[in-house]
Amino acid sequence: MNFNELNLSQELLRAVDELGYTEMTEIQQQSIPLLLEGRDVVGRSNTGTGKTAAFGIPAVESITEADRRSAAVLILCPTRELAMQANEEIRKFAKFKEGVKSSAVYGGASMEKQIHELKRGANIVIGTPGRVMDHIRRKTLRLENIRTVILDEADEMLNMGFREDIETILADVPEDRQTVLFSATMPKEIMAITEKFQRDPVHIKIKSAQKTVELIEQFYFEVAMGRKTDALRLLLAAYKPSSAMVFCNTKAMVDQLTDELVKHGFRAAGLHGDMKQIQRTQVMNSFKSKATEILVATDVAARGIDVSGVDAVFNYDLPQDNEYYIHRIGRTGRAGRTGTAYTLISGRRQLFDLRAIEKYTHAEIHEMPLPDKSDIVSMKKEALVRDISEAQAGHNAYDILDRLTEMGIDYREAAARVIAKQLSAETESLPDFDSARPLRKGRNNGAKTVKIDINIGRNRRIAPNFILGALVDATGMTGKDFGKIDIYDDHTTVEVPETEYEYIIDSTDSMKINGNKVEVKLYKGGAHAERRNRRIDDRPKFDRKKAAYGNKKKSEIFSEYIPNRKKRMKKRH
Ligand code: ADP
Ligand code: MG
């Protein structure tokens, strides 16, 4: 269905046309007509499906002469970036319609400027709940003429603890109003808000999770513990995305990783909630204009950010929530374009978590080996051949060649030296690839091992195969992954790969052997045993349900994928 089939004013149709929209997205088709009629709506649709226009177009259309002096539409968004973004988009819809004044209010920015805009008669106000509350308290935002309240990304606002603010605001807006709610998920708390504050709402649910994810190729890399930063540098050097987002779970990690990337010559910048608004705006603008190639961000800071042309998303940390994974990778492959998502994982626990995500998204995430130096060198060689074959030589170049010839360096030698210099400049600072790969598991391959200690032994008539069986059962690992088993009177030690011991200890939390509940610890024989044990105690408890998933053999995925690898790499360069 086209926008011009809607009963929109000429001004709006012109604006939409100028934006290049013709066909409506599904959520737009279903919600815009209802919103124009004034109905309450609950809309569920994935990120990137055009929700801003779905509520923004009716909002702009609803503004009349009578709204000259006061706010008529109030839109609540979870973050400052989203408020700014929604404001920008709404201004585009309002471009040809006179008398529409929209204004964004959010924390971390000058109160005076916002008050000034509100006083000048903003009739569409877009803001974060906290700052909107501020303005209400100061009476710089008055609610008595508000006809429509829109909650954008309602689930995220609740996650961020805005529930009370939202309820207070909704309770203060005149009852005779339209209440619209958009959300990617529909947890109980949202249903409660719906029941309490909406009138006979129409529920719209667009099933597009697969659709968004389908256009995105998804890969993961297994990386040795502590080598994720090196692995990321390697991948960025190999794939050279011109616009990429990297996700971390903490602000500290964002800062640390950004520093590391900048130090190694990448045009990277970080984005998280502790930064000043002015900095955040700078970073976003720089990323949008492609001056910054790599944006390192936390989930909340990046939520809903709509930047076109992001060609890769990297999950440096695995997201803490499956839904976040979809949001993250949805930053690439927007508006029907294809994109690529890469996830770095360390250790078996993360592999299981990744499998759970795969199951949740119904999409395959393929294992890909980290490229090694020879891979990168051959990619660079191909790129150089292409660059040089397409380049033009100017007079200066010939002058230099003539001078070199006089010095006894012939053309062939000169060209070879230039190429070698270029190649080494592009590859010499790369991290030591081989050690960024995980150690292969198994007892005879030289992988570093540690011992775990199980508090059961000969006194309970325990045999090695009981121990092994219980361990395999609890961890989903294979018998080969475990090494030497020594049974003593009252305890048993088992050799395990060092990279896996934390996972093993976590997953044997409620393990029973021969009917006896046992405790598994790191064997206190090693030098760092104390420190390690402390670290283990701090870790969250292992989720057994997650571990139950993951029957698919890694080798199957691996062999499926390998034949296409070279081709894929070529395609990208
Ligand atoms: P959501 O809020 O659902 O995550 P957005 O409103 O941010 O999605 O829209 C995602 C992108 O799609 C934006 O770049 C927007 O300009 C574009 N878009 C929205 N509606 C249409 C449409 N009907 N045709 C083409 N592009 C659209
Ligand atoms: Mg949105």
Q: Where are the beta strands (DSSP E) in 299-458?
A: 312-315, 339-345, 366-367, 449-454
Which ligand is nearest to the Cα of residue 23, counting in written order? Answer: 1
Residue with the two structure tokens 């529409």: 100
Which residues does 333 contact at the CB level (< 8 Å), separation at least 6? 212, 215, 216, 339
Separation of 334 CA from ligand 1 center, angstroms? 8
Q: Which residues surround ligand 2, an ion (CB under 5 A)?
A: 51, 304
Q: In this structure, which ligand is nearest to the CA of 306? A: 1
* Contact predicate 221/343, CB 8 Å: yes
Is the distance from the beta carbon of residue 270 to the nearest atom of ligand 1 less than 6 Å? no
Closest ligand 1 atom to 46 CA: 3
Cβ–Cβ under 8 Å, residues 290 and 232: no
What mean pLDDT is predicted for residues 327-353?
A: 82
Task: Look at residues 184, 177, 174, 131 and name the one whose alpha carbon lies nearest to residue 154.
Answer: 184
Domains belonging to the chain, first-starting first, are 3-206 (3.40.50.300), 210-371 (3.40.50.300), 374-427 (no CATH), 439-537 (3.30.70.330), 542-573 (no CATH)
With a 6 Å cutoff on the Cβ, whether 48 touches ligand 1 is yes
For residues 231 and 563, which has the higher predicted lDDT (pLDDT)?
Answer: 231
Q: What one-character DSSP code corresponds to residue 486?
A: E
Q: How far is the CA of 312 from the centre of ligand 1 (A)?
A: 19
Interacting residues of 6 by C-beta distance below 8 A, sequence separation 6+: 24, 32, 33, 36
Query: Which among 449, 476, 454, 452 is positioned nearest to 466, based on CA atoms?
Result: 454
Residue 469 CA to ligand 2 center (angstroms) comes to: 50
CA distances from 413 to 1, 397, 518 (A): 63, 15, 70
Which residue is associated with the tokens 């109980």?
188
Q: What's the pLDDT tens digit per position in 520-568? A: 999 876 444 444 444 444 444 444 444 444 444 444 433 433 334 344 4
- Please compute the mean of the pLDDT values over residues 80-96 and round it to a whole number: 93
Residues 269/254, Cβ–Cβ less than 8 Å: no
Any atom of ligand 1 within 6 Å of the Cβ of 16? no
d(CA 487, CA 457): 6
**pLDDT of amino acid 248:** 94
297 CA from centroid of ligand 2 (Å): 18
Q: Which ligand is nearest to the CA of 83?
A: 2
Cβ of 218 closer than 6 Å to ligand 1, yes or no, is no
Distance CA 24, CA 31 (A): 11
Q: Cα–chain-centroid distance for residue 419?
A: 38
CA distance 485 to 452: 10
- Ligand 2 centroid – CA 53 distance (Å): 9
Nearest atom, ligand 1, residue 308 CA: 14
Q: What's the pLDDT tens digit per position in 416-450?
A: 999 888 888 777 777 665 544 444 443 345 568 88
How many Å apart are CA 120 and CA 114, to the nearest integer? 10
Q: Work out the mean pLDDT of the chain and round it to a whole number.
A: 83
- Give mean pLDDT, residues 405-409: 92
Q: Is the CB of 212 under 6 A from ligand 1?
A: no
Residues 86-111: what's their mean pLDDT?
93
Q: From the CB of 25, is ligand 1 less than 6 Å away?
A: yes
56 lines ligand 1 (CB under 6 A): no
User: Measured from the CB, is residue 521 less than 6 Å from ligand 1?
Assistant: no
Instruction: Please state which of the ranges 214-218, 255-259, 285-289 shows the lowest mean pLDDT.
Output: 214-218
d(CA 350, CA 92): 43
Q: Which of 131-135, 214-218, 309-313, 566-570 tops mean pLDDT?
A: 131-135
Dist CA 508 CA 515 (whole Å): 14
Task: Tally the C-alpha atoms within 13 A of residue 31's C-alpha that lie toward its C-beta.
Answer: 31
Tell me, in angstroms, the distance from the centre of ligand 1 to residue 308's CA. Answer: 10
Q: What are phi and psi of 212, to 5 degrees?
A: -65, -45
CA distances from 360 to 180, 248, 322, 324, 325 (A): 28, 20, 7, 11, 10
Placement of tokens 């970073």 in the chain:
283
Which ligand is nearest to the Cα of residue 82, counting in written order?
A: 2
Query: What is the pLDDT averaged over residues 464-488?
Result: 81
Residue holding tokens 């569409």? 124
Provide the whole-model pTM: 0.54
pLDDT mean over 246-257: 93
Query: What is the spatial distance between Cα 495 and Cα 490, in angstroms, rounded to a whole number?
Result: 17
Nearest CA to ligand 1 atom 17: 50
Q: Which residues pair with 187 in a beta bridge?
A: none
CA–centroid distance, 55 to ligand 2, in Å, is: 10
Query: What tokens were used for 327?
Result: 């949001």
Query: Does the beta carbon of 49 lie inside 6 Å of ligand 1?
Result: yes
Cα-to-centroid distance, 167 and ligand 2 (Å)? 21
Ligand 1 contact, 51 CB (< 6 A): yes
Ligand 1 atom 10: residue of nearest CA: 48
Cα(5) to centroid of ligand 1, in Å? 19
Kindly state if the Cβ of 335 falls inside 6 Å of ligand 1.
yes
Alpha carbon nearest to ligand 1 atom 16, residue = 50
**Pairwise CA distance, residues 27 & 419, whole Å:** 53
Give the pLDDT confidence score for residue 563 in this predicted structure.
38
Higher pLDDT, 338 or 24: 24
The pair phi, psi for residue 485, each rounded to 5°, is -110, 120
Q: How far is the CA of 319 from the centre of ligand 2 (A)?
A: 20
